[in-house]
Amino acid sequence: MAIRKHKNDTNKWIIDYYPEGRKGKRCRLTFDGTEAEARDAEMELRRMHISTGSRTNPPINRILPEYLEWMKIHRAERTYRDFCYSLKWIEPHFGPLPVSRITPEVFNRFKAARGKVPRAINKEIDYLKGLINWMVRNGYTEPLPFKPEKVPYSRPLPKIPHPDEVEALLDEIKDPLKLAMTILMFEGGTRFTETANIRWEDINWSGGIILMRNKTKRMKQRVVIMPDRAAEILGPIKQPSGYVFVNPKTEKPYQSLKTLFAGACRRAGIQRISPHKLRHAFATYLLESAGDLRLVQMALGHSDISTTQIYTQIAVSNLRDAVKNSTNRLKNTKNRQNLDHTGQT
């Protein structure tokens, strides 16, 4: 677009614009008014150009700024940051193309260039699909006429810490607030970020529950049972409002406990436990105890039960290990009995 003075009338301005993009037909508007008003009119035409032009299947790059603004509002901060990071690989391959020109071959070239990182590739394909679906919902393009094929990937089962290891970790955490956070993740199944952003007004003390509504995945609210050990720590210091777990150095919610966990695990003489492994442990032991997958799904706040089903595999794996250990103990006992019997004869 361009704006310039009218040759014959100093009170008029010429605005050139391309409703269908640079390769389309040029339109010319004569505007009567001040330069500032003419520039305002040009900006309005630009917005109209983005809207109408996008409906003629624009390159994805043109839509990205608007989509990023939408993500800031409608997606979790961590998801937004991860999407921005993934653009490093998505944009060079798909950014210059309109959706109509994205073919299976384009996806195959992307996969080949990306290398042997199947989990990352599949995540980036999901991000791109989310962007395209958003464009379709907003009338910017037609859907892809095919389903993008993902790279074969078998997600490894999370390594679940034994309850004794978790208790050893808890014994090494001396700060009461950090200890309460850790208990919440292990006995309540909360994620670190949503735990750090619990507010006092979200706790129902009489009901023994916490309403998780801040920094939750996909902004989805859920109820978490307050663990007794966490309530014993937090009850005496409860406040009417504000964040519960405030870092005294920053006066903001804690951003990480990785250093704390690393030191506590080292002192306890156990393998490294991350905050998210505590959530995995909560889900696994709840499933083994209750035997109800729907209950675990509700406790974790999963939208899709297929996400929760991974804990069925972990429970079966734990059962297999327990049976194997039991069998080995029986074999060892039998061997000792045989030796004793041989010695007696």
Count of CB atoms within 10 A of residue 88's CB? 9
Q: Mean pLDDT by 10-residue block, N- to C-terminus, for the chain (345 residues)? A: 76 73 68 77 61 66 93 87 94 94 95 94 96 93 93 81 94 97 95 94 95 75 92 96 95 94 96 92 86 84 76 63 55 58 53
Using a cut of 0.75, tell me whether the model's pTM lies above it.
no
Helix (H) or strand (E) holding 264, with range, is helix 258-268
* Torsion angle (degrees, nearest 10) of CA 234, 239, 245, 251: -150
Q: Taking CA 176 as the corner, what is the angle to CA 281 and CA 222, rounded to the nearest 5 degrees?
A: 50
What is the predicted pLDDT for the residue at 52? 47
Cα dihedral sign, 119-122-127-130: negative
Give the pLDDT of residue 53. 45
How confident is the model at residue 303, as a pLDDT? 76
Rounded (5°) CA angle 85-88-90: 105
| Strand 246-247 versus strand 222-225 pairing type | unpaired
Strands (E) located in the chain: 2-5, 12-17, 27-32, 203-204, 209-212, 222-225, 246-247, 252-253
**Separation of CA 21 from chain center:** 36
User: What is the pLDDT, as a whole number, of residue 271?
Assistant: 92
SS3 label, residue 163: helix
Give the tokens for residue 131. Answer: 């962007």
What is the spatial distance between Cα 106 and Cα 104, in angstroms, rounded to a whole number? 5
d(C-alpha 184, C-alpha 208), whole Å: 13
Active site residues: 191, 215, 276, 279, 302, 311
Residue 78: per-residue pLDDT: 82
Question: How many helices, marked H, and strands, marked E, lie in the chain?
Answer: 14, 8
H or E stretch at 312: helix 310-344
